[in-house]
Amino acid sequence: MNIIDARGMSCPQPVLMTKNALKKSPDIVQILVDNETAKGNIERYLSHEGFLVEFQNQDDDILIMGRK
Amino acid sequence: MKEKRSIIFAGAVVGILSVLLVYFGNPTNMGFCIACFLRDIAGGIGLHRAGVVQYIRPEVIGLVLGAFIVSIKNKEFKTNGGSSPFTRFVLGAVVMIGALMFLGCPLRMVLRLAGGDLNALLGIGGYGVGIYLGVLFLNKGFSLKRSYKMPSIEGYIFPGINIGLLILLISGAGFLFFSNEGPGSMHAPIWISLGAGLIVGWLAQRTRLCMVGGIRDMILFKDSHLISGFVAILIFAFAGNVFMGYFNLGFVDQPIAHSDGLWNFMGMLLAGWGSVLLGGCPMRQLILAGEGNTDSAVSVIGMVAGAAIAHNFGLASSGAGPTVNGQIAVMISLVLVAIISAANSEFATRRAEA
């Protein structure tokens, strides 16, 4: 599965990238971000959409994993 | 739910502190105004010579340092930059030109409405349209591209400059410019202003409070998280103004405002559109700059430059109304923002790459 690389993107692009990724893969998605704001925004978005959300710290980055 | 409670709490604190700052000496409906305060700072260091709007506003310094301290404490301070810095500089300048046409940043727009200034309704209308236009391009893949990790020192410079400004202010450096009359002469005592800035900086960093994000996320994702902070500011500042006897409903004779509806609308349309492209309102840019985002630091310096241009070239409105120069500048700026929007959207960047 493709990991969406949203590191370094301004608000609200990480969430938009997540939203677009769900069009291709509606049940499972992984996004890499590098800040807490993007993490919080994507978590909120995925939770609203009914996903289970998990995180994994990778050095300075955070991998967000969402699945239905 | 906990997240939402904290942003509503942050909005409530901003609303109440804004009224208190007026009580302690700030101009009416200007407890906080990032555009006005950056404009005053530009004047304070002599970048423009509009004698009535010159002061080093400690609220701005407090916002930056509050965000800086809390981001260091929570290990969220990260130095990054390189996402179209010069485009951001220009966008910062045009956001300022729009805000000074209306006479207030998005935060003061809400505070003006909370004080009964109905001209702010036109501002909010324009602001909403501007955000909508920005969102259209976001949906077309608009991006100023990625930022990258930078050496830490790059991120410490902006908070460092704010500490420097504070030292200059406290030491009463003779080369600074301070208004003897007009809005620049009206201010709360330094320590109260600084303290209010620190508190709001802290809360805004924690909650990501943003005056452009609220409307933007409602349009894009039907997400009401950020807009609940916006609404909380309005409600609590309104209650505070009624309680303190500052509430004055109407269009005419509003403090540091004009009643030219069309240009109030156009000014905030420009500010809203530009802010969406920057990824956050002027206050949010200050907070991000405090946590090491040097693209936001560049945007803030763009706003300072925009304020200097606005006052040197007679673009800024006054209580008497907008100026012709200002109207021309807003129209040119809108064309510029449209070009920046289109040139950085996917349909243009893809073609360039192909």
ipTM of the complex: 0.95
Query: What's the CA gap between B214 and B227, in Å, rounded?
Result: 4
Q: Which residue has the tokens 């769900």?
A: A22
Chain A, nearest residue to B204 by Cα: A37
Strand partners, A22: none
Task: Pull the structure tokens for residue A45.
Answer: 């978005």
Burial of B113 (0-12, 13-18, 19+ CB in 10 A): buried
- Which of B5, B76, B91, B217 should be substituted to probe chain A, the one whose Cβ sees the most A Cβ atoms within 10 Å? B217
Whole-number pLDDT of residue B3: 84
- Which of A9, A11, A20, A58 should be substituted to probe chain B, the one whose Cβ sees the most B Cβ atoms within 10 Å? A11
Query: What's the CA gap between B325 and B24, in Å, rounded?
Result: 35
Contacts of B226 in chain A (CB under 8 A): none
Contact residues, chain A to chain B, C-beta under 8 Å: 7-13, 15-16, 19, 34-37, 40-41, 44-45, 48, 60
**Mean pLDDT of all residues in A33-41:** 95
Nearest in space to B107 (alpha carbons), one of B159, B29, B162:
B29
Nearest in space to B268 (alpha carbons), one of B128, B113, B174, B118:
B128
**Mean pLDDT of all residues in A44-67:** 95
Whole-number pLDDT of residue B351: 79
Whole-number pLDDT of residue B67: 98
Whole-number pLDDT of residue B354: 66
Whole-number pLDDT of residue B315: 98
Query: What's the CA gap between B337 and A9, in Å, rounded?
Result: 20
* Chain centre distance of CA B193: 17
Contacts (Cβ under 8 Å, ≥6 apart) of B56: B40, B41, B44, B45, B165, B166, B168, B169, B176
How close A9 comes to chain B (CA, Å)?
A: 5
Backbone angles phi, psi at B259, to 5 degrees: -115, 30
Buried b (16+ CB within 10 A) or exposed e, B57-69: bbbbbbbbbbbbb
Per-residue pLDDT tens over the stretch B25-75: 999 999 999 999 999 999 999 999 999 999 999 999 999 999 999 999 999
Nearest in space to B121 (alpha carbons), one of B323, B259, B317:
B259
Return the beta strands (E) in chain B as ranges: 80-81, 148-149
Q: How far is CA A20 from CA A14, A49, B112, B214, B220, in A?
A: 10, 13, 38, 21, 12
Question: B149 and A60: CB-CB below 8 Å?
Answer: yes
Contact residues, chain B to chain A, C-beta under 8 Å: 3, 76, 78, 80, 83, 138-139, 143-144, 146-149, 208, 210, 213, 216-217, 220-221, 223, 225, 278-280, 295
Question: A40 and B3: CB-CB below 8 Å?
Answer: yes
pLDDT at A47 over 80: yes
List the single residue in B139, B146, B280 with the smallest CB-CB distance to A11.
B280
**Is residue B348 within a helix (H) or strand (E), and if so which, with residue range?**
helix B346-353
Q: How many CB atoms lie within 10 A of CB A47?
A: 12
Query: What's the CA gap between A24 and A2, in Å, rounded?
Result: 11
Provide the domain count of chain A. Answer: 1
Chain B, nearest residue to A49 by Cα: B221
Radius of gyration of the CA atoms of chain A, in A: 10
Q: How far is CA B98 from CA A15, A59, B200, B295, B310, in A?
A: 28, 41, 24, 20, 10
Q: How far is CA B251 from CA B113, B115, B157, B241, B263, in A?
A: 10, 11, 43, 17, 14
Which segments of chain B have a pLDDT < 70? 354
Whole-number pLDDT of residue B350: 82
- Which of A10, A20, A61 should be substituted to probe chain B, the one whose Cβ sees the most B Cβ atoms within 10 Å? A10
Contacts (Cβ under 8 Å, ≥6 apart) of B95: B35, B270, B271, B274, B275, B278, B282, B302, B303, B306
Q: How many CA atoms lie within 13 Å of B122's alpha carbon, on the beta-carbon side?
A: 21
Task: Pull the structure tokens for residue B235.
Answer: 């409600």
SS (H, E, C) B157-199: HHHHHHHHHHHHHHHCCCCCCCCCCCHHHCCCCHHHHHHHHHH
Contacts (Cβ under 8 Å, ≥6 apart) of B5: none
Write the CATH number for A18.
Answer: 3.30.110.40
Query: Which residues constitute the domain of residue A62?
Result: 3-67
Question: A10 and B148: CB-CB below 8 Å?
Answer: no
**Mean pLDDT of all residues in A8-30:** 95
**Mean pLDDT of all residues in A31-60:** 95
User: B91 and B340 in contact (C-beta within 8 Å)?
Assistant: yes
